[in-house]
Amino acid sequence: MNLLKAELRRLAKRRITRWMLLLVLLLMPTVALVVASNYVKPGPAAQAQAEAAAAAEFERQQVYIEAEVARCEADQAAGTADEMGWPEDCEEIRAWQSSQEEMVEWFMPPAFEFREDFQPMIKVLTALLCLFGFTIGASFVGAEWRTGGMMNLLLWRPRRLQVLGTKLAALVGVLAGLAVVLGALWTGMFWLVAEFRGITDTMTDGAWQSFGLAGLRGLALVLFAGVLGFALASIGRHTALAMGAAIVAFVVGVAGVGIIGGGMLELPFYERWIWSTYVTAWLDGSVELTDWNAPCTPTPNGDCVSPTLEISWQIAGIGMAVLFAVVLIVAMWQMRQRDVA
């Protein structure tokens, strides 16, 4: 218990933890403000403005359609209607005209609809916290090794696995706590965005449940990123190893595989070799990959459908769990076996 208390204090005292947290706390309202600036609260003024614009557009469209009908009738009279692609009955052209009510919708300024627009925002916060968790996790153990703090600690607490495990528990606890608090703050911010620049009336219990599940999946991903950074830095005994691995993962694991697998080799469903596909599948529930290079299959309604491959969140979860276990076991084994030189 003493060790856990000490590690929680150590993590909280570290400058990188404080600076990164400050950065996250600054970015959160900044993102919310930028999003808010792109939406307008639907109200009588906006409605009136949209109705006026719709009326003008309706009139303009009506003039255009009347002209088209006239041209159609002229071509029919000349016997060239088929050649020009006009319908048999020129009156059908009038059906192209949209209703004025429909047009009002077009001209209504965009409103932030909490039910529809908050879901992507959960992913934004998840990405931000993953970066935070990975960096803090890597630095928490990497800097300890580099500066000799780990050796000092082992002189006090020689049970190595207990020391590493307690550090990890402190990290996971802090990350989970922060993710929950920041998630609540984030939800509150966008609720306010919706209140002032959109609508909240469409929210239902089911929608809240869906947000809750997305939040839980995001929380799991944040913890996974934190533990991954921690374990990689522990294996390399340096923060730089984890950060380097992350850069390699992005350059090789995303861009490299995309260019070689998709662009050069034209592998079917090459995205399944890109790790970020699984992250997306985990967060979205599933990802459907399409092999655009394969011959498509005609359907009775005249479409031609390319083969697809679905990656579910369960498959993504298994992949992440395997990676999690392997990296953590190697880190623990290294901690137990390697000399502290």
Partner 1 sequence: MTAVVEIHGLRKTYRSLRGGARPALAGFDMTVAAGQVHGFLGPNGSGKTTTLRTLLGLIAANGGEMRLLGRPVPAALPEVAGQVGAIVESPQFFPNFSARDTLSLLATAGGVPKPRIDAVLELVGLRDRARDRVKTYSLGMKQRLAVASALLKQPKLLILDEPANGLDPAGIREMRDLMRRLVSEGMTVLLSSHILGEVQQICDSVTIISAGRRVAAGPVAEVLAAHGTGEIRVRLEAAADHQTAAGILRDAGATVTVHADHLLVHGVDKPAWVTRTLAARDLYVSELHRAEVDLESVFLELTGTTPVPGQHHQVGLPANSEGAGPVAANVGGTHA
Which residue has 């009775």 as its token pair? 300
Q: Which residue has the tokens 């309202």?
A: 29
Q: Does 161 bind partner 1 (CB under 8 A)?
A: no
60 binds partner 1 (CB under 8 A): no
Among 41, 123, 157, 272, binds partner 1 (CB under 8 A): 157
Among 276, 279, 282, residue whose Cα is nearest residue 213? 282
Among 158, 295, 300, 302, binds partner 1 (CB under 8 A): 158
Binding to partner 1 by residue 5, rule CB under 8 A?
A: yes
CA distance 131 to 117: 23
Region of 9-17, 31-39, 98-106, 123-131 interacting with partner 1 (CB under 8 A): 9-17
The terminus-to-terminus CA distance of the chain in angstroms comes to: 28
Q: Is 174 in the site for partner 1 (CB under 8 A)?
A: no
CB-wise, 26 or 340, nearer to partner 1? 340
Question: What is the DSSP code (8-state) at residue 35?
Answer: H
Stretch that binds partner 1, among 86-94, 121-129, 221-229, 332-340 (CB under 8 A): 332-340
Q: How many residues bind partner 1 (CB under 8 A)?
A: 28
Q: What is the DSSP letter of 96?
A: G
Name which of 151 and 184 has its Cβ closer to partner 1: 151
Helix 114-147, helix 205-236: angle, nearest 10: 20
Closer Cβ to partner 1, 46 or 143, answer by number: 143
Residue 303, interface with partner 1 (CB under 8 A)?
Answer: no
Rounded to an integer, what distance in angstroms lies between the CA atom of residue 323 and that of residue 286?
Answer: 19
Phi and psi angles of residue 198, each rounded to the nearest 5 degrees, phi first: 180, -150
Cα separation, 76 vs 69, in Å, equals 10
Quote helix, strand, coil % in the chain, to nearest 5: 80, 5, 15
Residues 114-153 that bind partner 1 (CB under 8 A): 143-144, 147-149, 151-153
Shorter beta-carbon distance to partner 1: residue 3 or 235: 3
Site residues for partner 1 per CB under 8 A: 2-3, 5-7, 9-10, 13-15, 143-144, 147-149, 151-159, 337, 339-341
